Structure 1
Amino acid sequence: MYLTLAPFGGNLEGVRAGARAWLGKEPRELTAAEAALLVALPQAPSRLRPDRWLQAARTARDRVLQQSRDADLLNAPAVAEALAEEVPTQRLAWPLLAPHLAERLKRQQPMASLIRTTVDGGLQRALEDLAKDEAASLPAPGSLALMVVDNKTAAIVATVGSADYGDAGRLGAIDMTRAIRSPGSTLKPFLYGLAFDAGILRPRTLIADVSMRFGDYAPKNFDQAFHGELTAAEALQRSLNVPAVLILDRLGPARVTAALERTGVALRFPKATASDRARPGLPLALGGVGTTLEDVTMLYAGLANGGLVRPLRTTAGAPGTTPVRLMSADAAADVLAILTEAAPPPGVVPAAARSSRGAIALKTGTSYGFRDAWAFGVSREFTVGVWAGRADGSPSPDRLGRDAAAPLVQKVFDLLPAIRSPVIASGPSGSPPALLRRLESTPAGEGIRIHDPHRLRLVYPVARSSIERSGERVPLGLVAAGGRRPLSWLIDGRPIVTGAATREAEWLPERAGAVRITVLDADGRSDSAVIDVR
């Protein structure tokens, strides 16, 4: 009892507190001189504090050492060596490892005197030092958050909630591993995996990255350009927005949301109005939802676990939980293969150097308004999640996921044990079956349109072209190809009279401005183009 309550100066009580505060050690690690100092301090803790009364503390310590020699507890050479040791001159800062996690666990178990966590102390110290070093180059209130998960056990082995817990200028007390933020493009891999399982596409399915409109929603790519036809794997590797929205449109936002939420992920959707009920929509594909670094890291760990997602563990000895299957093992392997084969961000790690220490599947993301930069890396053994931004939610236009967060993922992996085997054995192989060779932009609910040279197409006028009206009121020729006759033509939704036997028609523009031209065949298929009449 005395050892746990003895005073050691100031607000220090107990021999462990004294050893940690004055000497930075556990009691079992003390030298003879250090132990003698702690024996002396409780006799007069205010008058013997070494940071205020150094000589008094030294004299008291030396007296204890001499008494130990007289009692044959220490021999003369040991005492002489101990007397030569310096006495500490200041109180050390109390150890503060994983403070955000410690606070959370204490709230969850307020009566517990000891909570054993899954955190690796050495790795935690290294990551906290890394976060502080990296944040030094960020103007306040810029901050960082880091997580490392053991894929086999779903244990959080390191978690850094901010760059510096005590830095009020960076709002360091806020745990950004659990803050609700927009995940940017980081949910795209899960859309692709669910689409693989649903039979909507395969990694080598061709998909068009062109201007598309989904009702009133017209997504654009981050670079404001379109890249034409490419494979689904290439679209994911380049994190293109239009293909991701097209895939979500086929799957259905509600279906994807339900699949993600079954794993335990909390998703918060914005409300259209104050009275409207928040519901999922197509912007989900591009980060139009709120979630946390911890939840998204859990999803990526699920990819390494063959598509099985388990709640992350923070305490040692916690009972295991039943995993939830998000996607098949084959779909998860395909997604990881695609991400592993993607080119790393410029200046991060050359491909050759990366392969020398094992393959890492990497995905980055940047939220709307440059508020959040994300990166996730997956090896067979570990999943690393990184967030960079400002805790107050203000924009950081110079911080992109590829630039701000991706380099940190590699630096964290450099602190982890060497990767023993690649995260995937090989990439997707083989051509997709005929029905999955191309994913077209068809209306929701129609499923996949096979690339058929006989399908209905509006050949002329070309979408987004400009047409000059003739002063002589000459009609404009409309030309279609394919489709089953008879064909019908609509101008801004209103039918025009044409001959049913041909695939050509004439229309006389009556006004200037944007006009939508639509052709329909006997099977109800359609194709449209918007032109500018001048």
Structure 2
Amino acid sequence: MNKLKKHKIKLIIAVMLLTAYYFALPKELFNKPTSTVIESAEGELLGARIADDEQWRFPQNDSIPNKFKTCIVQFEDAYFFKHPGFNPVSILKAFYGNLSKGNVKRGGSTLTQQVIRLSRDNPARTYWEKLKEIILATRLEFRYSKEKILALYASNAPFGGNVVGLDMASWRYFGRLPSELSWAESATLAVLPNAPSLIYPGRNQEKLIVKRNRLLKKLFKENYIDTITYQLALLEQLPQKPYSVPQTAPHLLQRVAKSQKGERVKTSLNIRLQQQVNHIVKNQYAVLSQNQIHNMAVLVLDVKTRKVLAYVGNSPTTKQHQKDVDIVSKPRSTGSILKPFLYAAMLDAGDLLPNTLVVDVPTQIGSYKPENFSKKFDGAVFASEALSRSLNVPAVRMLQSFGLDRFHHYLKALHLKDIKYNANHYGLSLILGGAESNLWDLCKSYASMASTINHYDDTQGKYYLNEFLEPSYLDDFEPDFGEISKEKTIFDAGSLYLTAEALSKVHRPEGDENWEYFNSANKIAWKTGTSFGYRDAWAIGTTKDIVVGVWVGNADGEGRPGLVGISTAAPILFEVFNILPNSTWFQKPFDELAEVEICTESGYRANEYCNNKELVFVQQAGLKTKPCPFHFWVHLDENEAFQVNTSCENLQNIIHKCWFVLPPLMEFYYKTKNPFYKKLPNFRKDCIVESASVMEFIVPKENTTFYLTKDFNEQQQGIVLNLVHSNSEAIVFWYLNNKYIGTTKNQHKIEAKPEKGMYKLTAVDTFGNEISRIIEVK
């Protein structure tokens, strides 16, 4: 009974000792803060941020180059792959050596023991500590493989100063990856942890080179390197000064540090492309900063994978000009960069054909008075041309026609997160920069539009439900486009293809105007934008494969003369595209297009009165658009000089002809830009005509307020009133509050000098036609 009891106690003690041994080693050996590190898709270092404890300590790396592995084992622990965590022979030698010296001079530690020592912050060297190390080292050998233990050592060994770990040491002292080091360089790093406070590059060169060469000699004797390699290695110089950590994508590093602090992140960036884009931005900054334009951002996306290929968050400016601000994600006024979405939405809804004539005349809607950048008007312009020329007045009128809420719904579907208010908050200025967005979201949307066309071709006429997904800068990102459906996600492929075609005709900046004549030129669908006050300049373009987005301006919002998309952002855009591989153009999505006959002059579906017709492909929804409203059947005399009817001419003498006729105000501006436009002849004076003439105010527009001014002689100036009449022979009589103020003929412009107040302006022509408008004079 006593014997059983005695064995039971031994068993309990044994179990307790084994349990203590099992749990003696912490689950996580190293928990000190690490640097945030980003690498390119090729594995090159793009940048790193120092750890919170001010040490350059890269995250754990389980991969150790063979050269360094050989060097560190031969220098520190030749029997590493044979011992169980400690080397009894080395320990005994160290014990007798220390005993003879009277103090601790030699430790006899294996690499496994050194890992334990590093994990315990290098406690004082005592025999008790050495015993602990041995016990924990054996436990570590049970937990991990030899390769893992070596990796732990390489990642946490000190390499001089505040440099910890092989990865950082390799960059700090040689400016390269550990796998790219020579035998001499690997040997240099292998001997550093042995005395990092004493021997490191830049000081004590003699001691360091003696240690290195001694190790190289051992490698030669052990046949790890041949004679030639050994002799060449001895000739290699030691590093003289530390290298700076690469900062190839500092703003992406800043972004990564917010969500993955202290981690090693392999990004999708192409290092060569990133370096080239950095160079382009640096050169452009040198030019633009002379005009006090200090900031810019560039984003390059792969359409197919939705991965970021290049990320430049800001220019290499100064801290005073906010060089650390990552512009890519910052909301900025959109300028005209949203116009392609309106064009695509109107095509998609069947409210427009690509070349439908849209109105471009002086416009005032309530208190809002949009103007074209050139301050000029075309009267009427093809919708696709209005987009490619970025005309503001047609865009505002198209938005008013389409519906503000309706367009706002499309923008929300694109997940532009900075458009956070309702449609009425923005008003019609939404299309001209009244809203804000950021480069990331806009490039994402352009990429999704391009991808919709690509996928429609790839899937033989279908759509992905998650087409407008978020891009990623992570190398292992796999886009989830969702399920395939016959229903479009937001826009149909036909509308997007026609939008891309229109955007490919945008006039390129100086130097690229004749791109179509070069075989090497890339066909690009692109758009610029300039915000009010010249604060933001945009240029975003897409091919079938790549999206490039550029923003230029000042981070503090200061506007500058000349800060416009075409002259500041567009040159950067095309420089980037010029270093990218050329792409083929999008495949035409025939199933989402229909061939219809349109009027050449108006771009509308042809009616029976259109003389010039052509067959073109339009989006399927365009089949429901109305026929041409500008072609009429007119009746002329034998000389085609006047319009006539049976009240003044025999029927057999009347010539019947189709005629392209625009409303008076549109015609007034259109004929100045289109010399071949033939104005409709007037009726012959002997003809009886009802409402044959039409007139329209140029000034004033609806709800216009005039402000009275004085000249240099303190004399009150009048107000100038102007209208256009379809009949060049018509006489117009002008009235203010039914009081006659004058008569005009041919050029219908008149000056009035009213007092302050509200007035009803009336114009009456000799045919009895009358128009009126309420104005206010202040």
What TM-score, normalized to structure 1?
0.80
RMSD across aligned positions (CA) = 3.8
- Does the alignment pair 1:21 with 2:180? no
How far apart are the structure 1 equivalents of 2:443 and 2:374?
26
The code of the aligned residue for 1:129 comes to H
Q: Deviations over 1:21-57 (max 9, x none)?
A: 1112221211111111101211222322212343443
- How has the CA–CA distance of structure 1 residues 368 and 481 changed in structure 2, closer, same or farther, with 3 Å as cutoff? closer
- Does the alignment pair 1:155 with 2:307? yes
- Does the alignment pair 1:422 with 2:576? no
Query: Which of 71, 95, 102 lines up with 2:246 in the alignment?
Result: 95
The code of the aligned residue for 1:232 comes to A
Match of 1:313 in 2: 472
- Does the alignment pair 1:433 with 2:433? no
- How has the CA–CA distance of structure 1 residues 94 and 368 changed in structure 2, closer, same or farther, with 3 Å as cutoff? same
Give 1:321 deviation, angstroms: 4.6
Match of 1:472 in 2: none
Q: Deviations over 1:236-261 (max 9, x none)?
A: 11100000001111122222122111
Aligned positions of 1:179-194 closer than 5 A: 179-194=330-345
Aligned positions of 1:12-161 closer than 5 A: 12-110=163-261, 113-139=263-289, 142-161=294-313
How far apart are the structure 2 equivalents of 1:175 and 1:82?
44
- Does the alignment pair 1:393 with 2:628? no
Aligned positions of 1:286-297 closer than 5 A: 286-297=432-443
Q: Does the CA-based 8 Å contact 2:202-2:239 persist in structure 1?
A: yes
- How has the CA–CA distance of structure 1 residues 67 and 88 changed in structure 2, closer, same or farther, with 3 Å as cutoff? same
Q: Does the CA-based 8 Å contact 1:182-1:289 persist in structure 2?
A: yes
- How has the CA–CA distance of structure 1 residues 14 and 429 changed in structure 2, closer, same or farther, with 3 Å as cutoff? farther
- How has the CA–CA distance of structure 1 residues 407 and 86 changed in structure 2, closer, same or farther, with 3 Å as cutoff? same
Match of 1:374 in 2: 538
Q: Deviations over 1:402-446 (max 9, x none)?
A: 011111111111222232x124659998523259x9xxxxxxxxx
Give 1:457 deviation, angstroms: 9.3
- How has the CA–CA distance of structure 1 residues 461 and 169 changed in structure 2, closer, same or farther, with 3 Å as cutoff? closer
Q: Does the CA-based 8 Å contact 1:270-1:289 persist in structure 2?
A: no
Q: Deviations over 1:282-303 (max 9, x none)?
A: 0011111111011111121122
Give 1:377 deviation, angstroms: 1.4
- How has the CA–CA distance of structure 1 residues 430 and 104 changed in structure 2, closer, same or farther, with 3 Å as cutoff? farther
Q: Deviations over 1:286-336 (max 9, x none)?
A: 111111011111121122123653322222235625498331111111111
Give 1:363 deviation, angstroms: 0.9
How far apart are the structure 2 equivalents of 1:490 and 1:48?
98
Query: Which of 493, 496, 512 lines up with 1:332 in the alignment?
Result: 496
Match of 1:440 in 2: none
The structure with more radius of gyration: 2
Secondary structure of 1:34's aligned partner: helix
- Does the alignment pair 1:463 with 2:698? yes
What TM-score, normalized to structure 2?
0.56
Give 1:98 deviation, angstroms: 2.5
Secondary structure of 2:411's aligned partner: helix
The code of the aligned residue for 2:295 comes to S
- Which 5+ residue runs of structure 1 have no aligned equivalent? 272-276, 438-446, 466-475, 483-488, 497-508, 521-525
Query: Which of 350, 353, 357 lines up with 1:199 in the alignment?
Result: 350
Q: Deviations over 1:156-185 (max 9, x none)?
A: 222111113x84133121111111101111
How far apart are the structure 2 equivalents of 1:223 and 1:510?
31
Q: Does the CA-based 8 Å contact 2:597-2:605 persist in structure 1?
A: no
- Does the alignment pair 1:280 with 2:426? yes
- Does the alignment pair 1:359 with 2:519? no
- Which 5+ residue runs of structure 2 have no aligned equivalent? 1-151, 454-466, 599-603, 611-625, 633-660, 664-690, 701-720, 728-732, 740-751, 765-769
Q: Does the CA-based 8 Å contact 1:148-1:384 persist in structure 2?
A: yes
Query: How many pairs were matched up?
Result: 480
- How has the CA–CA distance of structure 1 residues 163 and 528 changed in structure 2, closer, same or farther, with 3 Å as cutoff? farther
- Does the alignment pair 1:7 with 2:179? no
**Percent of matched pairs sharing the same residue:** 32
- How has the CA–CA distance of structure 1 residues 530 and 403 changed in structure 2, closer, same or farther, with 3 Å as cutoff? farther
Match of 1:470 in 2: none
Give 1:532 deviation, angstroms: 12
Q: Does the CA-based 8 Å contact 1:210-1:226 persist in structure 2?
A: yes
- How has the CA–CA distance of structure 1 residues 458 and 142 changed in structure 2, closer, same or farther, with 3 Å as cutoff? farther
Give 1:195 deviation, angstroms: 0.9
- How has the CA–CA distance of structure 1 residues 430 and 154 changed in structure 2, closer, same or farther, with 3 Å as cutoff? farther
How far apart are the structure 2 equivalents of 1:380 and 1:365?
22
